[in-house]
Amino acid sequence: MMDSSATPVASLYIHVPFCAQKCSYCAFYSEASSGELVNRYVTALVRELEMVAPDLKPKTIFFGGGTPSLLNLRQWEQILRAMEKLNLLGAGEFTVECNPATVSSDKAKLFRDFGVNRISMGVQSLDEKLLDRLGRVHSREMVFKSFDILRRAGFDNLNLDLMFAIPTQTMDIWRDTLNEVVAMQSEHLSSYEVIYEDDTPLFAQMKAGEFAVDENLACEMYDELVSRAIAAGFHQYEIANFARDGRDGVPPSLKSGSPTRRPSQDQIPSLACKHNVNYWRGGSFYGLGPSATGYVRGVRTKNWSNTQLYCEQLENGKRAIESSEELPPLKRAGETAAFGLRMVAGWPFEEFRHTTNFDLRNEWSSEMKRLAERGWGRISVDHFQLTPQGLRFADSAAEMFLR
C-alpha cells in the first residue's frame, strides 16, 4: 500500500533483461532477445510504471541491463511516451546504458527528445583480442564511432565503462586502453576488476586452468587506473568511479574576482552519477523490470528473475515482486553505513543521522577507531571516511558495520 502523504520517491531504476549474446563473465540476469518477448516485456514494463507512478517524481532515472540500447526505436518510443503521459520525465539526470554495437543517430536523437541526458557506454577494453575473450559483441572501432554519434547528438555527459585484470591482459595493454579512453575526454569513467562468478564460462575456464589469476597485477592495474584518471582531471569519488567537475577548467576569462573553487577530496564532483550516489547513500529508489531490486522507505523488494513470469504477473495486474523484506532499523542503518563507505567522501555524520536516525559516533565508534588505528579510516570533526588504503579493502571495512 502506498502512503499518499509520503514524499514521492525520487529515483527510478529500470532493468532491460536482453543482450545480443551472453558475455563470458556475466552473471547479471539477461537473455538473448527474441522479438516477441521484447514486445511483451515493453508492455509489461509500461504496466509496472503505471502502478508506481503515483509514488514517483524522479530526479534520477537509470535504464540498465542487460543492454537497454538493444530495444528498437518503436519499443523505446512506447516506453518514453508512456513515461511522458505518467509525468515521469524531466529528471535532472536520465541515464541509459548502451552497448557500442547498438547506438544509432536515430536512437540518440529519440533519447535526447525525451530528456535522456547521460549515456553510459560499456567499452570494457579497446583491445580486440580481449573483447573477443570477454565475448563482447562490439569492436574497438564501434566504440569510437558510437561515442562520436552521441557527441553529435548533443550528449555532454558520457560515461565509459572499463574492465581490468582480464585474463591475458598485460599492463602494457591496460595502459594503451587507458590512454585511448582518457583521450576521448568523457565526463565520467567507471572501471571494475573482472570477477569470476559461478556459472559463467570465464569461471569454468579459470577452474580448468586455462589461465592464472594474478592478484598483484590486478592491484597494480588499479593503481594505474587511479593515477591515470586523476592526472587526466577526473576526481575519484567512489572505489571504481571517477567524474569531472563543472568547477574545474573554467577559462580564466570567465572567472570572476574570486578564484575557481575546485572540489576538495571530501566533496562529490558535479558530474558524479547522482543515481548511484543516492544508492550508496541509502536513498529510496524504485526498481522495475525482471530481477530488479528496489528500496523504498526501508522495504527492499526483488522482482522475478524470469522475463516470462514477470510479464505474466503484470498481465494479471500484479507487481512482479518475488520477495520483499523490511529490515530492522539498526540492520538497515548498518547496511547504509557500509554502502556509503565506498564513497571517497565517506559519511558526513549529520547526513547519516538524517538518513538512518542513528549516529555513527555512538553506534560504530569502536569500529571507526579500529579502522583509524589500522590506517584504513579517518575520523574528522564532521565525517568519517576510508583512506585510499582503506578503500582497497572497502569490503572488509564495510563488513565491520553490519549488524
Residue 246 CB neighbours (<10 A):
11
Residue 30 CB neighbours (<10 A):
24
CB of 126 to ligand SF4, least distance (A): 16
Of 82 and 181, CB closest to ligand SF4: 181
| Torsions phi, psi for 8 (to 5 deg) | -60, 150
Of 169 and 356, CB closest to ligand SF4: 169
Of 122 and 340, CB closest to ligand SF4: 122
Of 204 and 299, CB closest to ligand SF4: 204
By residue count, the chain amounts to: 403
CB of 102 to ligand SF4, least distance (A): 10
SS3 for 29?
coil
CB of 320 to ligand SF4, least distance (A): 19
CB proximity list for 313: less than 8 A, separation 6 or greater: 304, 319, 320
Of 59 and 133, CB closest to ligand SF4: 133
Of 22 and 392, CB closest to ligand SF4: 22
Of 95 and 385, CB closest to ligand SF4: 95
Q: Can the peptide bond before residue 66 be classed as cis, meaning omega within 30 degrees of 0?
A: yes
Written as one string, the DSSP assignment of 39-70 is HHHHHHHHHHHHHHGGGEEEEEEEEEES-GGG
CB of 225 to ligand SF4, least distance (A): 19
User: Which 8-state DSSP code applies to residue 343?
Assistant: B
CB of 39 to ligand SF4, least distance (A): 19
CB of 26 to ligand SF4, least distance (A): 3
CB of 391 to ligand SF4, least distance (A): 24
CB of 396 to ligand SF4, least distance (A): 26
Of 63 and 401, CB closest to ligand SF4: 63
Of 65 and 287, CB closest to ligand SF4: 65
CB proximity list for 196: less than 8 A, separation 6 or greater: 25, 202, 203, 206, 213
Residue 341 contacts residue 330 (beta carbons within 8 Å) = no
Written as one string, the DSSP assignment of 112-163 is HHTT--EEEEEEE-S-HHHHHHHT-S--HHHHHHHHHHHHHTT---EEEEEE
Terminal Cα-to-Cα distance of the chain (whole angstroms): 28
Of 71 and 337, CB closest to ligand SF4: 71
Output the CA–CA distances (angstroms, integers) from residue 258 to 252, 254, 272, in the order listed. 11, 11, 25
The CA distance from 174 to 160, in Å, is: 15
CB of 97 to ligand SF4, least distance (A): 8
Residues of this chain that bind ligand SF4 (CB under 6 A): 19, 22-23, 26, 28, 30, 65-67, 99, 122
Q: Residue 371: which of 337, 397, 344 has the closest Cα?
A: 397
CB of 61 to ligand SF4, least distance (A): 19
SS3 for 195?
coil
Q: Residue 75: which of 118, 31, 110 has the closest Cα?
A: 110
CB proximity list for 4: less than 8 A, separation 6 or greater: 54
